Amino acid sequence: MNISSKVNNLEGLKRSLSITVDKNEYIDEFNKGLGKYKASAKIDGFRAGKVPENIIIKNYKDRIHSDVMNSLVEKSLMESLTENKLDTASPPTLSIDQVGSFDSDLIFKAEFEIYPLFAVKNIEDIEIEQPDVEINDPDIDEVIKNIQKQHIKWEEKKSESKSGDKIILDYKGSIGGDDFENNKQDNFTFVIDDKVNGDAATTGLFKAFYDNTKDELPDSEKSFQYKMPADFSDKKIAGKIIDYKIKIKNVYEGMLPKLDEEFYKKFGIENSDYEAFKDNVSKYMKVELDQKMKSIISAAVNQKLLDQNDFEIPLHMLDTEVKNISAQYEGMQQKIDDKVKSELDLIARKRVKLNLIYMKLTEEHKLTVSEKDVYEFISKSDPATQEQLIQKAKEDKNYLNHIKNKLLEDVIIDLIASKCSIKKIKKRFIEVVN
């Protein structure tokens, strides 16, 4: 095409292309369009293909002009992007400065973002930690004990509470006599001295509830204070002393089920004894550990990729990801306040950055995932699930691409894990899976 273009660097990754298309290109394209209408137009009083040109122009000039403009803009933009080696990361915003015609060139601008130019830091320099775990008898016994706890039978009691009892209570907290957001709850339920995972504020508050509900009778009321850690995320109550008032409504004593044939049947194990049940639990633990180890390696590699590679990200990609995450969050009936919005923005930023790194690694190492790989992955599922997934993959290209992307991510993680430095840290099974 007879065109000229000029690239203008705008803020960040934004670019502008000023494109001029010679009027002769317009004339040629218009005449081609005119010829098509002359051959196919049907107008009363004329045979098809025999309509005079002036009649065609009178009836279809605006439509031909519109088609020509769309065609010239699309073709010249693609050619200019290729010529200037620009890879767009956002849909272009177009503005027409001069409409093309038989007498004038077409002049327009296209604004868009480009992908950042960067090279992924040497993946062989990455160092990650990997848990070194051996499943032993104490680990298996602890898991079996947890399985028993999951099937515990609770019986209400009227005597004093003790460690291991389940408590149901109502509570209300205040600071200097004033309420604060989410300061009360009815039927708050927990098991005294149960292990709780979480930040210092969560574990500390649960311990305060445990200490103040032990050796208490049902229907008793009590007050206690708890100082929220200074680094707590909600700055309105961080570092403040909270006055809690509680009313214990119910106390339950737990009865662990016996490890017998009847109990084993709940897990599909017929005519079994303790050793067979223990062996079955051990196999399940190995599967769970393998899945957790894969997740740990993936998370560690991803974090290192994010830490070691710094570059600008396209705002369009970030905005799109924020919208997607927000829609998912709202779909779970969750309210998005300023704090949550900030957290979602951070998650979206990491996802976009990681996706760009994955794209670069895929290109540099020529990594691919085929449809055959997808169906091999599906074949590892149980027969009933296989049939559903195969049908869905055939009907829905988006779902097929979703699986491809997941498999490609696995390929990338495996590649990096095979080349990076791994430091093994001795850990227990419970530490890792929790």
Could you please report the per-residue DSSP string of 126-170?
-EEEEEE----HHHHHHHHHHHHHHTPEEEE--S---TT-EEEEE
Q: Identify the burial level of 105 via C-beta atoms within 10 angstroms of its C-beta, where 0-12 means exposed, 13-18 middle and 19 or more buried.
A: buried
> Which pLDDT belongs to residue 211?
96
> Which pLDDT belongs to residue 375?
84
* Lowest mean pLDDT across 206-210, 328-332, 412-416: 328-332
The ranges of the chain annotated as CATH 3.10.50.40 are: 153-255
Distance CA 124, CA 301 (A): 11
The arithmetic mean of pLDDT across residues 365-390, rounded, is 84
> Which pLDDT belongs to residue 2?
94
pLDDT confidence of 388, banded at 50, 70, 90? confident
What fold characterizes domain 3-113?
Alpha-Beta Plaits (3.30.70)
Q: Which of 311, 347, 306 is nearest to 328 (CA)?
A: 347
pLDDT confidence of 179, banded at 50, 70, 90? very high
* Lowest mean pLDDT across 99-103, 251-255, 399-403: 399-403
What are 86's two structure tokens? 């620009």
Residue pair 100/29 in contact by the 8 Å Cβ criterion: no
Give the position of tokens 């408590």. Answer: 167
Residue pair 167/189 in contact by the 8 Å Cβ criterion: yes
**What percent of the chain has pLDDT above 90?**
73
Check whether 390 has a pLDDT greater than 90: no
Supply the DSSP string of 181-209, one letter for each residue.
TT-EEEEEEEETT----S-HHHHHHHHHH
What are 150's two structure tokens? 């999951």
pLDDT confidence of 53, banded at 50, 70, 90? confident
Distance CA 204, CA 300 (A): 28
Nearby residues of 256 by Cβ (< 8 Å), 6 or more positions away:
148, 149, 152
What are 195's two structure tokens? 């292990």
pLDDT confidence of 170, banded at 50, 70, 90? very high
> Which pLDDT belongs to residue 351?
95
How many Cβ atoms from other residues are within 10 Å of residue 72's Cβ?
Answer: 23
The ranges of the chain annotated as CATH 1.10.3120.10 are: 272-433
Nearby residues of 75 by Cβ (< 8 Å), 6 or more positions away:
1
CA dihedral of residues 197, 199, 203, 204 (deg, nearest 10): 170
Q: State the DSSP H helix or E strand holding residue 21, giving kind and residue range, or none if neither.
A: strand 14-21
* Lowest mean pLDDT across 7-16, 149-158, 266-275, 334-343: 334-343
Partners of 246 in the β-ladder: 171, 222
Helix pair angle (397-419, 383-395), 10° resolution? 110
What are 349's two structure tokens? 């930023």
**What percent of the chain has pLDDT above 70?**
100
Residue pair 192/163 in contact by the 8 Å Cβ criterion: yes
Residue 9's SS3 state is strand
Rounded to a whole number of angstroms, the CA Rg of the chain reads 33
> Which pLDDT belongs to residue 85?
95
CATH architecture group of domain 153-255: Roll (3.10)
* Lowest mean pLDDT across 148-157, 234-243, 332-341: 332-341
Decide which of 424 and 385 is more confident.
424
Q: Which of 119, 111, 33 is nearest to 305 (CA)?
A: 119
Check whether 105 has a pLDDT greater than 90: yes
* Lowest mean pLDDT across 12-26, 91-105, 325-339: 325-339
Q: How far is CA 12 from CA 9, 19, 332, 350, 365, in A?
A: 8, 21, 35, 18, 28
Burial 131-141 (b: 16+ CB within 10 A, else e): bebebeeebbe
Vertex 343 angle, CA 340 and 345, to 5°: 110
Decide which of 398 and 188 is more confident.
188
Check whether 335 has a pLDDT greater than 80: no
Check whether 41 has a pLDDT greater than 90: no
User: Class of 272-433 per CATH?
Assistant: mainly alpha
The ranges of the chain annotated as CATH 3.30.70.1050 are: 3-113
> Which pLDDT belongs to residue 312?
95
Q: What's CA 17's distance to the chain center, in Å?
A: 34
* Dihedral sign for Cα atoms in the order 390, 392, 395, 400: negative
Look up residue 48 and give its DSSP letter.
T
Taking every pair of Cα atoms in the chain, the longest distance, rounded to a whole number of angstroms, is: 104
Distance CA 115, CA 316 (A): 11
Check whether 58 has a pLDDT greater than 90: no
Work out the mean pLDDT of the chain and round it to a whole number: 92
Q: State the DSSP H helix or E strand holding residue 103, giving kind and residue range, or none if neither.
A: none
The arithmetic mean of pLDDT across residues 309-324, rounded, is 95
